[in-house]
Amino acid sequence: MTTQPLEPTLAALANPFARYFAATRPAFITASLMSCLIGLALAWHDALAFDVPLALVTLLFALVAHAGINVLNDYYDGLNGTDACNTERIFPFTGGSRFIQNGVLTLIQTRNFGFILLAGVAAAGLWLMSHSAPQLLYIGIAGLFIGWAYSAPPFKLNSRGWGEICVAAGFLAITVGTDFVQRKGFAAAPFIAGLSYALLTANLLYINQFPDRTADTAAGKLHWVARLPVQQARWGYVLIVALSYTWLVASVLLHWLPALALVALLALPLSITAARLLLRHAAQPQYLADAIKITIAAMMAHGVLLSLALILSKGNT
């Protein structure tokens, strides 16, 4: 069991800028950064007319969207009480940011900050739409709705067992949207290229739910880890890993992705290591910190390797 970092306190975050920035959980926003990079790498691979300013605005747009969704998720988990009663959390990975529970921000401040961030995203999305194509609106609305409805009533999609699908769809929407801005239209390619990474991000949610299982069950958040007995639920992680890498290999075999994309399989040993740790310690959440860290490493390594493969195989299939 590894030592957990200290949770946030108002004294440690006296500077308002630092306080609100930290409330977005910036370390986890790198997941959206990687989704963007896959979309940009695909646009480069397909030899599109690459617009750097649009790419940078798209990247900022995605990061702020993720930040807003993180903050609102804390707000809704503050409302339903799951974070307050979570005694088995592994901070900073599970149990929320602890900003509300530790008195760093109030519920109202958290709610307002989250919606302000999403309002900024909406403005940036309209600007991007005016410089790409009107259909970008559909991607933006879908992404924001998924992120909000994940935890917000009346939908509470994660509580209904749709959490992993929401996460995969949300990160896939980032890849699709990033590619759309450069391509100025829809294509199958970003759906194909982004799905394996999106599944691995969903697996991060899945493993994070094991330490939160008791609190989530008490609060009525009945995701699959809460619904299934622990010994059965742990195999869901293995299934998602298998789906991710099978999709990658199948996409190459079907010539949907370049052969060099198989280099992303180098992340598979990390996923296997994390799976073995989860299979061993699923009923002992205090021992899952290393498995969560390795899950993050596998996800990021997969994204980096896939992006590099797309860049280096420009013009090839």
Q: Where residue 187 sits, what CATH number does that domain have?
A: 1.10.600
Which residues form the domain of 186?
16-312
Q: Which residue in the block uniquely carries the two structure tokens 């307002």?
A: 112
Asked whether residue 230 is assigned to any structural domain, the reply reads yes
Angle separating helix axes 107-131 and 136-149, nearest 10 degrees: 170
- Token reading at 142: 């879908």
Nearest CA-CA partner of 91 in 32, 33, 27: 27
Encode the chain (317 residues) as per-residue pLDDT tens digits.
455 679 999 999 999 999 999 999 999 999 999 999 999 999 999 977 789 999 999 999 999 999 999 999 999 999 999 999 999 999 999 999 999 999 999 999 999 999 999 999 999 999 999 999 999 999 999 999 999 999 999 999 999 999 999 999 999 999 999 999 999 999 999 999 999 999 999 999 999 999 999 999 999 999 999 999 999 999 999 999 999 999 999 999 999 999 999 999 999 999 999 999 999 999 999 999 999 999 999 999 999 999 999 999 986 65
User: Total structural domains in the chain?
Assistant: 1
Residue type, 317: T
Residue 5 counted as domain residue: no
Spatial neighbors of 142 by CB under 8 A, at least 6 apart, are 169, 173
First to last CA, the chain: 45
Q: Positive or negative CA dihedral for 14, 16, 18, 24?
A: positive
Report yes or no on 280 lying in a domain.
yes
CA angle 35, 40, 45 (to 5 degrees): 125
In a domain, residue 220? The reply is yes
283 assigned to some structural domain: yes
Residue 317 inside a domain? The answer is no
Write the DSSP assignment of 137-160 as a string of letters.
HHHHHHHHHHHHHTTSTTT-GGGG
